[in-house]
Structure 1
């Protein structure tokens, strides 16, 4: 009988020790929330001229990158969507999923970090699984003047 009572209290003690842990007020006060962590890795870039605007917001996690990309170019259809890809060397290589004239489309985008800012690379494209991608990322043209410069995120 004494053995079963002792076993009962041992089991009871083990169960009570494995209950849900509550954070102390100190841990709660100094633990960053998920939203704050996201903000720390968020960067915003923009190109603005008289008639054109390009906005890029990135969320970086190691070499992975995602975010939003919006084009509003004079006499062209407005594009607005998301990017999901990676950072390699000084390049952002991502799949851009966007809305334009009510249609959802995808294409690969490549941005190079230059002295002037992030510049999109243009070159020959081919379709892979229905998505236009660059044929040769190493030979893209970045000579245009559309450089996205850092701006405060809003």
Structure 2
């Protein structure tokens, strides 16, 4: 009789267990990976070249950024930042004329392009005073392109 009660209890317990349903907000499903795929983004008008290779888009956005602008010193280095509401803001650590420097840079995602943001800088010229006041002109858009080997 005890065995029968134990078996009945087990059957009732197992049959009352249901698979929990998890409700997911569709707006939250838009992930960093889909907004900013890993790969290369380039602007090249034969006088100016800006290249940004996104190498990691998980918790932080990481990549390699390089500027070769007409009549300016070429610089290249690493980028680490965060994506928030289609705006990527991070720290660019670069080498120019043998000196390592850092400055804050920003890009807005516009389809398959990145538009660099501009705004008033702090007194030392390394960070934006107000990231909410940035403008993103479409003069030098970085377009997603195949990465060159």
Scaled by the length of structure 1, the TM-score of the pair is 0.67
2:89 maps to 1:72: no
Map 1:65-104 → 2, pairs under 5 A:
65-104=61-100
Distance 2:129 2:39 in 1: 28
Distance 1:133 1:80 in 2: 18
What secondary structure is seen at the aligned counterpart in 1 of 2:132? helix
2:56 to 56, 60, 75: 60
What does the per-residue CA deviation read over 1:80-123, in whole Å, with 9 as the maximum and x for residues that have no partner?
10001111110111100001111100000000112572011111
Q: Is the 8 A contact 2:116 2:137 kept in 1?
A: no
What does the per-residue CA deviation read over 1:22-73, in whole Å, with 9 as the maximum and x for residues that have no partner?
xxxxxxxxxxxxxxxxxxx631100000211000001233341111000000
Q: Is the 8 A contact 2:113 2:142 kept in 1?
A: yes
Structure 2, unpaired ranges of 5+: 1-36
Distance 1:150 1:66 in 2: 16
Distance 2:59 2:142 in 1: 20
User: 1:151 — aligned with what?
Assistant: 145
Structure 1, unpaired ranges of 5+: 1-40
2:129 maps to 1:135: yes
2:119 maps to 1:123: yes
Distance 2:136 2:57 in 1: 26
Report which of the two has the higher share of strand.
1
Q: CA deviation at 1:136?
A: 1.1
Q: Is the 8 A contact 2:82 2:90 kept in 1?
A: yes
